[in-house]
Structure 1
Amino acid sequence: MESKLLPKTIEFNRPAKYKALKRLGAGACGETVLIHDENMDCYFVAKKYSPVFAQSESPDDFSELLTRFNYEARILFRLNHPNIVRVYSYYDYREFHTAYILMEYIDGENIVDFTRRNPSMLDNIFEKIIDGFSHLEEKNILHRDIRPLNILVDQIGNPKIIDFGFGKRLEDVHEDAGKSITLNWWCETPPEFSRSIYDFQTEVYFVGKLFEQIITEEGLSGFKYLKLVRTMCERNRDKRFKTFSEVKNAVIAGQFEELSFSPEETRAYRSFANTLSYIISSIDPSTKYERDHDKITPGLDAIYRQSMLEENVPRPNRIASVFIRGSFKYYTNHPFETEILKNFLSTLKSLPPDKQSIVLENLLTRLDAVQRTKPKPDLDDDIPF
């Protein structure tokens, strides 16, 4: 049977129609509207791009602003995290000098108002917010407008980071860092603003100040992560957490102390972590880590099946590749016993999800201690290689 070629362009001539319900807000860049998809019976938020400050600009300048709006929407479209507002689609009406972003609707209230009524839930909210900002950091995206109104909490206590109107990739921030620094901030700004610095360590500061404000105003002296928040708010950058990944690891470490691991579980983890660290010589500074359990366990499973009859795992760099997404150097003469892999894999599978997360974060912290070096363009035959 002859197959037909797909058309170069697929056009749906029955576009979805939405019923506008109410205006949710308006700002310098336009307005947001609550809409309802009658066909799917779902609520969404439509953000219309109609910047006040661009009305006096030339058509070319306006087109450039619209292009940047599209670029930022594309960045956010790739984010998928339970504590970050989801962007579903982008509608470009350049011929009418506007565009729309279709986003998830969060039926909730800002974090300050929610916590005032539910102070006992702040510990859990803090953990989820740190996880959300850690995800943004992993994707190299700065929010740049952290304030109470931009963190909503739904009816069941799940927080969502919203409003990325100022969001930028880290590599693009140098172009207009001043926009973040000159915002009308709601709290004391960090000292690095005097040097035109805005980075992830700055975002750590503002998230810390947000929780500091809530703790102080509500008198929540029993807040579980009070010590971490104080370190996040340090004005001295040398004493402040540098990244959200560090804060997340500190949260995990605190949970580790509360959960008991058997001697056998601890021994299996330490043998695996020690051996993995032993075979790795150095890691590229730009390298990211794999944090998805659904990818890590099958990856280790496959390596074990291919090595279970051997005393040592052939090419142990494959084990490192399960956790390291990027370049690294390793020693070829350092063995990795198959029994160590077997015991760790068996232990990992037997643990509940919260303990699996603790084991993984501890392992990634161990990898963070490995030397960080850029790979040389011309490699020689010496080991490690």
Structure 2
Amino acid sequence: MSKGKLPKIIEFNRPSKYKPVKVLGGGACGQTVHIRDEDMNIDLVAKKYKPIVAKSDNPSIFFEFLARFRDEARILFRINHKNIVRVFNFYDYEEFDTSYIIMEYISGADILDYLNKYPMFVEKVFEQVIDAFAHLQENNVLHRDIRPANILVNDSGIVKVIDFGFGKLLENSIYEKDKSISLNWWCVPPEEISDGKYDAQTEVYFVGKLFQKAIEENNLSEFAYMRVLHSMCMYEKEKRPKDFAVLRRLILEGKFEELKFSDEEIEIYRNFSNEMGEVVASIYSGAKYNNDMEDIEEKLSSLYRSVMLESNIPDCSNLIRIFVFGGFRYYQRQYFDVKILKEFIELLRGLSNEKKSIVMANLYSRFDAAERVDPEISQDDEIPF
């Protein structure tokens, strides 16, 4: 070869032979299949572009989804992290209007199922998730679909973030939400979503809400990172950590202070939380939570004075309104013990501000488990609000 000249393009035309094992699932853009490469003796996943919309029915949507599918492959090729699914190859068949992404096969459970089974590993899982999203942020990638099914934990306890079908490469610090994308939020979205804004700070919120849900489901009151988790879940954007780099640095420096609750404090909180869970039927879309601790304590005390001679609260809507700003539905015939209300008020009075914040974060996580409905939905006779 002459000096300064590049070699000719070399073609590798050996076809890979993949053996299908089973279909794993599908979504708006494609179908995922567990496959096996017999020559390499490894299991893989093939994600095929197979949208729910046929090209003949809606060509514009078909090709828009195809472009998004190709973007997912580009994103995966940009990142290399032990806690993010690896991509091995991409096959683009333009003549057939389809593509394939070949990725690593992950044997494990979604993050909530894993933590339900192994709650003692919640801190290790949290640290890995923060590290993964910090890496995405460093590579200007937004995931945009943070939900339990998209964060897996394998049999060795290793986190794997998957499914970048809604992923976005950032060209600036704030991404204006694509109007063609409509996600079904699994929790109350933060304030910036209503303004069409979505950035790394928004992802901080959704990761926080995911772990808040896991902690509520497993009653993990001694989670070491509870204080920072509460800050991640703040509805108001300016109150949240600005990005995952900040969170990762604080974790590495060990600057989180563990706050422990006594068994008696935990029991009082759970009694109150369980009663609230039995009373609240659903919450209207757009309703917000009261984060003014002084206002909450004052209203709870006022309510208690008005019902202290009763055995049960006559009208539970008065209690729910202390916490929920907006519409809701509740079970009129469900009783709420006045004694439990009294004990909860006394609990709050004896807690530090940091512990009060944790109590409210857990309580609102319990509220998030209630169904979200639109005001126009017809109401049952038993539910007057």
Shorter-chain TM band = 0.5 to 0.7
Change beyond 3 A, Cα 1:63–1:112: closer
Partner of 2:45: 45
Task: Write the deviation string for residues 297-329 of structure 1: whole angstroms up to 9, x where unpaired.
Answer: xxxxxxxxxxxxxxxxxxxxxxxxxxxxxxxxx
1:13 aligns with 2:13: yes
Q: Does 1:106 align with 2:106?
A: yes
- 1 CA distance for matches of 2:117 and 2:22? 26
Query: Given residue 217 of structure 2, which amino acid in structure 1 is its aligned partner?
Result: E
The corresponding residue for 1:76 is 76
Q: How far apart are 1:179 and its partner, in Å? A: 5.0
Map of 1:118 onto structure 2 = 118
How far apart are residue 178 of structure 1 and its match? 3.6
Partner of 1:39: helix, strand, or coil? coil
Verify the 8 A CA contact 2:51 2:65 in the aligned structure 1.
Answer: no
For residues 37-56 of structure 1, the C-alpha deviation after alignment (integer angstroms, 9 at most, x for no partner) is 00000011000012123524
SS in 2 for 1:34: strand
Q: CA deviation at 1:176?
A: 4.5
Map 1:355-366 to 2 at 5 A. Answer: none
- 1:97: how far off? 1.1
- 2:289 matched residue in structure 1: none
The alpha carbon displacement at 1:63 in A equals: 4.7
- Relative to structure 1, the CA distance from residue 57 to residue 255 in structure 2 (aligned partners, 3 Å threshold; closer, same or farther) is same
Deviation at 1:171, TM superposition (A): 2.5
Which amino acid counterpart does residue 140 of structure 2 have in structure 1? N
1:324-339 to 2 correspondences below 5 Å? none
**SS, match of residue 183 in structure 1:** coil
Alpha-carbon separation, structure 1, partners of 2:207 and 2:217: 16
Which has the larger displacement, 245-254 or 189-198?
245-254
**Retained in 1: the 8 A contact 2:142–2:199?**
yes
Query: Residue type of the partner of 1:158?
Result: I
The 8 Å contact of residues 88 and 104 in structure 1, kept in 2 or not, is answered as yes
Tell me which moved more, 70-79 or 86-95.
70-79
Same amino acid, percent of matched pairs: 54
Distance (whole Å) between structure 2 residues aligned to residue 98 and residue 133 of structure 1: 29
Match of 2:167 in 1: 167
AA matched with 1:125? V
Question: Shift of residue 9 of structure 1?
Answer: 2.8
1:170-189 equivalent positions in 2, closer than 5 A: 170-171=170-171, 174=175, 176-178=177-179, 182-189=182-189
Q: How many Å apart are 1:5 and its aligned residue?
A: 7.1
Letter in 2 for 1:205: Y
Q: What secondary structure does 1:55 align onto?
A: coil
Aligned-pair Cα RMSD in Å:
2.5
* 2:14 partner letter: R
* Partner-residue secondary structure (3-state), 1:238: helix
Once the two structures are superposed, residues 318-373 of structure 1 have per-residue CA deviations (whole angstroms, 9 ceiling, x without a partner) of xxxxxxxxxxxxxxxxxxxxxxxxxxxxxxxxxxxxxxxxxxxxxxxxxxxxxxxx
Contact 2:53/2:62 (<8 A) preserved: no
Contact 1:147 1:210 in 2 (8 A): yes
Instruction: State the AA in 2 paired with 1:177.
Output: D
Q: Quote the offset at 1:68 in angstroms.
A: 4.0
List gaps (5 residues or longer) in structure 1.
259-385
Structure 2: give runs of 5+ residues left out of the alignment. Answer: 259-385
Question: Could you say if the C-alpha distance between residues 6 and 225 of structure 1 is closer, same or farther in structure 2, counting changes exceeding 3 Å?
Answer: same
On the 8 A contact 2:20/2:33 being kept in 1, the answer is: yes
Q: Where does residue 27 of structure 2 map in the other structure?
A: 27
User: How many Å separate the matches in 2 of 1:231 and 1:2?
Assistant: 62
Alignment of 1:1-385 (within 5 A): 8-56=8-56, 62-63=62-63, 65-171=65-171, 174=175, 176-178=177-179, 182-254=182-254
Aligned-partner Cα distance in 2 for 1:241–1:167: 21
Match of residue 278 from structure 1:
none
The TM-score normalised by the length of structure 1 is 0.62
Is the CA contact 1:62–1:97 (under 8 Å) kept in the aligned structure 2?
A: no
Residues 224-260 of structure 1 show CA distances to partners (whole Å, capped at 9, x for unaligned) of: 11111100001121211110111112212326989xx
